[in-house]
Amino acid sequence: MKLFSLNKLSALIAGVALLSAVTAQAETALRFGYEAPRSDTQHIAAKKFNDLLKEKTNGEIKLNLFPDSTLGNAQTMISAVRGGTVDLEMSSSSNFTGLVSELNVIDIPFIFKDRTHAYQVLDGEIGQKLLSQLDAHGLKGIAFWEVGFRGFTNSKHPVTKPEDIKGLKVRTNQNPMYIKAFSILGANPVPMPLSELYTALETKAVDAQEHPIGIVWSSKLYEVQKYFSFTNHGYTPLIVVMNKAKFDGLSPELQKAIVDAAQEAGKYQRQLNLDNEQGIVEKMKKAGIEFVDNLDTAPFKAAVEQETRKAFIDANGDSLIKQIDALGK
């Protein structure tokens, strides 16, 4: 009887240990940070990513989401992912060019004809090779999501031609391609994080900024700007990255689940952006923003394309540009 009780007790202990292990496994959570607010499609797609990931791993992995720069600005979060204190992060491709200079090709003004061209490049061999170059820096490039085609807003006057940008203090990110382009146009580029931009516009520390309309809306930048021009001077993707050591430590099945879920969520977000654009225009018009209709972007392209391409070629050669141009024909 005592032997039976001891065996039963041992079995019970083993069962509890197994249950605890399974529960711990089911509650594995990855910290995922990004700068966009909860109202942006980035956050909506992050929730979709989480749902897909839980589904594909039977609840073994889930995401804890940290929007609105909760974990710091893009550079802070990238450093944290590399160091292993944050598991995943997403931010615009320009934030990674200090690690992989070839990523600057994405931000050459007017290099993409349209969304289809951009998706062909990013989802194909070129994009995957660019992502793979992050491996050497402690990052696993998981997927390209979307910031979108960039427009230009300011508080001074309508921008209908390149000369209208001259003299304006323009917020840019750290992207050397955009800094160069706006310098060519005679503006004063002022790099700063998105989290600081609203206050800078409100206090007139800068006059203007350039973002896709979705960010202008979700970050409420329209409240401190007056004019919007669809310059479409660049297309910016987001890059979703994960700490490479943590990714490599997972089983192949879990690795595949993370990549597949992230890529599916990215395509979902792209469609959301496309569906939302016209509605955002109408809302911003009601809020008092004046839009420049039927803007001819050709003079803007002519003004900056040659010099920005040359700057990239001098540093990285012309192979990537030729490949991207070929896909756009």
Residue 189 has pLDDT above 80, yes or no: yes
Token pair recorded at residue 200: 């800078």
pLDDT at residue 8 in the model: 55
Q: Please report which residue ranges of the chain form alpha helices under DSSP H.
A: 2-26, 41-56, 74-83, 115-123, 125-132, 176-184, 197-202, 213-218, 244-248, 252-286, 298-316, 319-327
pLDDT at residue 4 in the model: 44
Q: What angle do CA 28, 34, 38 make, to 5 degrees?
A: 95
pLDDT digits over 272-321, tens only? Answer: 999 999 999 999 999 999 999 899 999 999 999 999 999 999 999 999 99
pLDDT at residue 173 in the model: 84
Q: Which residue from 201, 187, 129, 241 is spatially nearest to 178, judged by alpha carbons? A: 187
pLDDT at residue 311 in the model: 95
Residue 88 near residue 261 (C-beta atoms within 8 A): no
Residue 178 near residue 246 (C-beta atoms within 8 A): no
What's the one-letter identity of residue 156?
Answer: K
Binned at pLDDT 50, 70 and 90, residue 244 comes out as very high
Pairwise CA distance, residues 265 & 249, whole Å:
23
Q: Which residue from 240, 257, 222, 230 is spatially nearest to 39, judged by alpha carbons? A: 222
Say which range, 19-33, 99-113, 126-140, 207-221, has the weakest mean pLDDT: 19-33
DSSP label at 154? Answer: E
Share of the chain above pLDDT 90, in %: 89
Binned at pLDDT 50, 70 and 90, residue 16 comes out as very low
Token pair recorded at residue 103: 């990523």
Between 242 and 195, the higher pLDDT residue:
242
Q: How many CB atoms lie within 10 A of CB 52?
A: 20
Averaged confidence pLDDT in the chain? 92
pLDDT at residue 7 in the model: 55
Whether pTM exceeds 0.75: yes
pLDDT digits over 50-67, tens only? Answer: 999 999 999 999 999 999
